[in-house]
Amino acid sequence: MQNILLAAGLASRSKGEKLFLPWRGETVLQHAVRASLEAELDTIVVTGFKRTEVERLLGVFADSNLELVFNPDFAFGQGSSTICGAKHLKEGEDFFISLADMPLINAAHYTGLLGKIGEAAALRPVFKGKPGHPVLLKSGLKEVILSQNPDFRMKDMLSAYTVKTCIVDDEAYVSDIDTIQAYRVLLLKDSKTNHPFKATTSSP
């Protein structure tokens, strides 16, 4: 399978620094890419803001399953980056869309969603009523994404399709670091446990 990993945003609420913060011996960005590759996903990282720095950090990965693509329209937001990534998806394969600023996500969080989508067009993890990432989409939605305007919102696009909810009991699926304060909270939680957050799901 494959994964569009969005790493192109301005990150204005963290002054552009969130992806470059330290996490478990590497950066938040490197951790996100490693998790995707360890899940054996063909990983398409969409870059934009601070492209050069992102590409330098990801130079440590010598993996044929990793592809970096640049979105010149990254200022439009996640919609434009999703379109950019979708252009590089393989035909006929389901795919994830994930965010690079969710450091609690590991390979098991991806594999924990596999086999649960059924006949739905998409599958989204939900923790205590809050929708999260990664989102799993059927292959046919690639062309739908490519037909959108650059400023489209995934939530609006998916409203026309059947989206299956996967109830999860792991906060990793909803824990991002839009702000430095949010990063510090997650860092504190991580330091208090000797065990990485594990992906656990229950049937919808």
Q: What is the CATH number of the domain that holds 146?
A: 3.90.550.10
125-153 confidence digits (pLDDT tens)? 999 999 999 999 999 999 999 999 999 99
What does DSSP assign to residue 48?
A: B
Cβ neighbours of residue 36 closer than 8 Å, sequence gap 6 or more: 3, 5, 43, 96, 98, 107, 110
* Residue 199 banded pLDDT, cuts 50, 70, 90: very low
Q: How many CA atoms lie within 13 A of 55 on its CB side?
A: 11
Range of the domain at 85: 2-191
- Model's pTM, two decimal places? 0.90
The CA distance from 62 to 162, in Å, is 38
Domain assignment present for residue 181? The answer is yes
pLDDT at 40 over 90: yes
Angle (nearest 5°) at CA 184 between 181 and 186:
115
Domain assignment present for residue 115? The answer is yes
Domain assignment present for residue 20? The answer is yes
Token pair for residue 153?
Answer: 């919102």
Q: State CA 87 to chain mean position distance.
A: 17
Domain assignment present for residue 196? The answer is no
Domain assignment present for residue 45? The answer is yes
The CA distance from 11 to 18, in Å, is 7
- What pLDDT does 189 receive? 83
Domain count, the chain: 1
76-135 confidence digits (pLDDT tens)? 889 999 999 999 999 999 999 999 999 999 999 999 999 999 999 999 999 999 999 999
Domain assignment present for residue 203? The answer is no
Task: Please choose, from the candidates 120, 100, 96, 99, the residue with its C-alpha nearest in 3D space to the C-alpha of residue 110.
Answer: 96
